Amino acid sequence: MLPNYNAFALSATLNLCKDSDGDGVVDVNDLDDDNDGVLDAIESPVVI
C-alpha cells in the first residue's frame, strides 16, 4: 500500500502531495497525472 501524503499538503486547496492516479508519484512530479498513457504535456500543453 502506498503512503498517503495528503496529510502533509500545504492546504486543502493547494495540495502539492496529491497522487491522483495512485502510482506513487505525486502529481507535481508525474508526467501523466491520470495514468491514461498520454503525457500531460500532450493532453494540455498550455496551462492557464
Q: Per residue of the chain (48 residues), give pLDDT as tens.
A: 455 555 555 666 666 678 888 898 888 889 998 999 999 999 987 765
Whether the Cβ atoms of residue 20 and residue 29 lie closer than 8 Å to each other? no
Please name the residue that has the C-alpha cell 492516479: 21
Which residue, among 24, 21, 46, 45, has the nearest Cα to 33 in the 3D structure? 21
Sorted by where each begins, the domain ranges of the chain are: 1-48
Instruction: Give me 41's grid cell.
Output: 504535456
| Chain-centroid distance, C-alpha 7 | 15
Half-sphere exposure (Cβ direction) of 30: Cα atoms closer than 13 Å: 19
Q: What is the value of pTM for the model shown?
A: 0.58
